[in-house]
Amino acid sequence: MEENLKPSLIRYHPFTTVIDPTFWLEIKRIKLDTLKLELKPIEIFPTISFANNDSRSIHLNYESFEKQSERGNRSNSPLIKISNWKKTDNPIIFDGKILIYNTKKEFDSTDKRELLIKEGERIWMKMNDEQQQRSYDESLSENLAKFFMIVFGDFKSYDFYYWSAYPSLSFPPNCHLIIDSSSFSTNSLRNWSNYFDSNQTKQLIESFNELSASQQHFFAIVVPSKFDQTNDNQKPSEFFQLNRPIIYTFTKFWSLETIEKFSMLDEYKIFVSFPDFIPFSPYPNWLLRNYLSYLHVRLGQLLQRHHQNSKILSFINNFLFVDHLKIFTMAIKTDLNRSESEFLDESFCSYLMQNSFVRHIAFLPANHKKIDKSRYLEEFIKDMLKLYPNNREDDVDGGKRNNFIPPAIGWERNKKLNNRLIPNHINCSSILDPKIMASDALSLNLKLMKWRLVPRLDLDLIHQSRCLIIGSGTIGCNIGRLLVAWGFNQITFIDNKNVSYSNPARQSLFHFEDAIGGRKSKSMVASKALSSINPSIDSRGVNLEIEIPDHPLKFEFEKKLKQTEKLEKLIDEHEIIFLSTDTRESRWLPTLIATSKHKIIVNVAMGFDSFLVQRFGIRLRNDDEIDQQSKFYPLFQEQQKQFQQYFPDPKQSSIYLGSELGCYFCNDIVAPTNSTKDRTLDQQCTVTRPGLSMIASGYAVEVLSSILQHPAGPLAPTFKNFSNDEENSECLKSSSESNFLRTDSILGAVPHELRGFLQTFDRIQSSILRSDHCIACSYKVIDQYRRNRDKFLTEAFENSKSIEKITGIDEFHEYSGSLLDELLSDEEDQD
C-alpha cells in the first residue's frame, strides 16, 4: 500500500425519513378499512430521489403504499390536494414493511432488536440464495434498499408514534475507506477526471441511457488499458485514456464467461457505480452498507465454486487489490424535461466531470496488520472460504456449511431528542386540513363497527347513496342529522317555508339567529347546518312547494307544473326518498313519482304520542318494459325464482316479498284532499310530544340502513305474522348472502311498518299487502302518470275524485252506498 494512502473506518451518513401529512391519513385508512385488529406487516415503498442532489432523505406519502407502476391511479383522491410531494424521475424504490399496532402498550413492549435481527436474516439469506441470483441481480435496487417501520396511531387525537429502520448488515469485516494522508483534507473522494476524459464521459452517458431504469443505479464499468504503451513518461492513469468504457449489468458481470473475457486484456480497471449525489460529501450514504455486503457475497460465491481457477483469482486481485475497489458516483441529474441530445452537450459533460467522483474501498484480510501486502489475496481467500465454504471434501471447514449471519443495524435516531435511539411522535392535528380531519373523524365510529361487530357492513354503499328529504321540519331535521352520523354524503332538503321562532326548540338544525326576520328558507338553513357538521358532504336545500290533490291550479297552471317537474327531477337524482311533510296529502305526489321510478321510500308520520315508520314496496312487473329497466329488476327475478323454489304453493308462504308491500295510502278508501282548510291554531301546528320525532326519525334511518345491508335491498321480505315467526322456514333465517328471502340483514330485522306508542311505551311490527286500488302506488295510477303525466296531474289537482275513478274506488263507494241503502230499507220494513 502506498505510504500516503491509509485505510480509515467507513462512516456512513444515515437516512432521514421525510413524511408527508398524507402518509398518516393513509395509515389511518389502511388500519380502519383493511387491517382492523390484524397485526401483520404490509408492503410499503418509500423513495429516494437524486433530482435535487439529496440522497439522504427518504420520502413517504400516501402513494408509498403502492408500487411505482400503480402510482398516479388515484387522480381524484383528496389527498393529492394536501400533499407536498413532487414526483421525480427514476428514484430508488425501497422495499419496505410496516407494522401498525393496536395499542400503545403493544408498540412500546415489542422487541425492536429482535425485529431488526429478523429483517437482517432475510436480507442475508436472500443475498446468498444462489438459485435466485439472477433475479436478485436484476432487481438489485429493491433488494439492497430495505425499509422497516413500526407505528401506533391514536386516530381520535391524530397522535402517531413511529420508528423507522433501514435494515443493513454490519458486514463485511475489515472494510475500510482509503484516504490520502498527504492531503490537508481527510476527504476520500477522487476527481472524476483522474480516471475518465471528456470523450469517455460522453461514451459512458450514451451507454448509461441505454440501460433500463431499474439498472441505472447499480452497474459495473470495465476500462481496458492502451495496448500501445511506448511512452515511459505516461502517467499510469493515462494508460486507460481513449479506450471506450464498457458498462456491465451485474447479471452479466459475475458470469464466468465475462470474467474470462477480462483475462484476455493486458490490463483493465473495474469500477462499480453507487448512487450518492450529495456533492463531495466525505461520508457515503447508508445504502453502501448492503452494497458492500452484496459485492463481498458475490466474490465469496465465485471463490466457493472456483477458488482454484487462476482467472477468477486474477479477477479478484484486480477488482480488490490493484488500486483497491473503486466505487464511482456519476452525477447525472434526473430531469424530466431534458432531451437525449442535451445529455451529450459540452456543458453537461463538463458539469458531470466536475461533480462526479470516485471512492476507494479496501477489502482487507483479517490479519492485514501482521502480513505483507503481497499476501493480501492469499489470506483474503482463506477468510472468504471460511465464510462461504462449498460442499467438497477439501474445503477449509471439512465441507460443513457455515451458519454465520452478520448482525443487522438500522434504527433511525430521534433527531428531536438528541439523536437518541427511541421512537418518534407527531401530532397531525395542526398540519392537516381541518375539513379533511372532520370528515375522517366522522367515519371513525362507522369503520370501528366493522372490526368486531359487523365485519360485512357495506359503508361504501351508504356513502354513495343519495338521500332526498321532503319536509325540513321536526322529522326532516332529525333524519338529516342521523344520515350524517351514518356516513351518507349526499343529502338534499325540500321545503317551502321559512324558519320561525317556534322552530329551533324542536327542529334540531335551526338556531335563534335563523328565525330573525322570518326570511330564511328552512331547506337552505338545514342544508347549511349539515355542512357545518361535516364540511365534506354534498348538502343542498331546495325551496319548493309540493302540489296536493283537490287544490286547483287556477291561473298558475304552468308554474305549478314546472314545480312538479322540478320535484320529479330531484327524485330522479336520488336513490332514497324520505317523506316527512306536515300533511298526509302532501305525501301523495312524491309517493306516486318515487314509486313509478322504483326509488327506496321511507315514510315517517306522527300523532300526539304515536308514530309510524314505513318502507314502501318496489313496484315491478315482468311484462312492463319500464320496470324491466330498473336496477332492482335482476334482484326481483332472482328473488322470484327462490320464492318459487321454497314455496311452490304461494298460499303456504309466511312472508311478503318487498315487491308486495303496501304504501302509506294502500288502506285509504278516499282520495287525499286539502286538509288544511278551516283548521284552528292547535290543528295548524304539529302538536306532538317533544321526544317523539327523535324516536321516529331514529327508527326511520335505522330501517333504511337495514334495507341497504340486505342482499335484496328494498325487495327484502318481511313476515306476514310476527307472533309466530319462530315457526317459519329455516331458509328465511339463512346467513347466506345470496339468499334474497332472508327476513333480516346483517344489522337485524328489516320491518315493513313500525308503530310506536309513548302512552304505553309499546312498539309493534306489522305488514300490509299492497292494494291494487291504491291511490298512490297501484299500477293503475302509475301507468296513467307515465303515459299522460300533465293531464293526469291537472285533473287530480282540480278534483281528487278523478283518482278514485281511475283506481276503481268510486265503484266501491257506489257498491257500499247501495249496501247501506239496502240495510236501511230492511230496517224500515221491519219497523
Closest CA to 140 of 67, 213, 69: 213
Secondary structure (H, E, C), 741-774: CCCEECCEECCCEEEEECCCCEEEEECCECCCCC
**Cβ proximity of 274 and 54 under 8 Å:** no
Q: Does residue 682 sit in helix, strand or coil?
A: helix
Q: Are 692 and 477 in contact (CB under 8 A)?
A: no
- Closest to 444 in 3D by CA, of 9, 29, 23, 20: 29
- Burial of residue 825 (CB within 10 Å: 0-12, 13-18, 19+) is exposed
Work out the angle at residue 40's Cα, subtended by the Cα atoms of residues 36 and 44, and round it to the nearest 5 degrees: 100
The H-or-E segment that residue 397 falls in is: none
DSSP type of residue 264: T
The residue written with cell numbers 295548524 in the block is: 684
Give first-to-last CA distance, the chain, whole Å: 141
Q: What is the helix, strand, coil percentage profile of the chain, to 5?
A: 40, 20, 40
CB-CB contact of 656 with 718 (8 Å): yes
Residue written as cell 486481485?
317
Q: What is the dihedral of CA 327, 329, 330, 332, to 10 degrees?
A: 150
**Helix 288-306 and helix 112-127, axial crossing angle in degrees, nearest 10:** 40
Please tell me whether residue 559 adopts helix, strand or coil conformation: helix
According to DSSP, the β-strands at 600-606 and 576-579 are: parallel
CB count in 10 Å sphere of residue 43: 12
Query: Containing H/E element for 174?
Result: none
Q: Which residues are catalytic?
A: 685
Strand partners, 159: 154, 427
**DSSP H/E element including 597:** none
Residue 760: Cβ within 10 Å count: 9
Q: How far apart are CA 10 and CA 274, in angstroms?
A: 15
DSSP characters for 504-547? Answer: TTTSTT--HHHHGGG-SBHHHHHHHHHHHH-TTSEEEEEE-PPP
Which amino acid is it at 40? K
Asked if 249 and 258 count as a contact pair (C-beta separation under 8 A), the reply is no
Nearest C-alpha neighbor of 807 from the set 785, 790, 789: 785
Spatial separation of the C-alpha atoms in residues 392 and 298, rounded to whole Å: 19
With residue 131 as reference, give the H or E element that holds it.
none
Nearest to 538 by CA among 588, 489, 471: 489
Beta-strand ranges (E) seen in 311-392 are 325-329, 357-363
Question: Which residues are CB-neighbours of 226 under 8 A, at least 6 positions away?
Answer: 238, 239, 240, 241, 242, 243
Instruction: Decide: 115 and 148 in contact? Cβ < 8 Å.
Output: yes
Question: Could you tell me the three cell numbers for 544?
Answer: 319548493
Cell of 20: 408527508
- What's the CA gap between 274 and 252, in Å, rounded? 18
Asked if 146 contacts 94 with a C-beta cutoff of 8 angstroms, the reply is: yes
Side-chain-facing half-sphere of 307: CA atoms under 13 Å: 24
What gap in Å lies between CA 802 and CA 434, rounded to an integer?
56
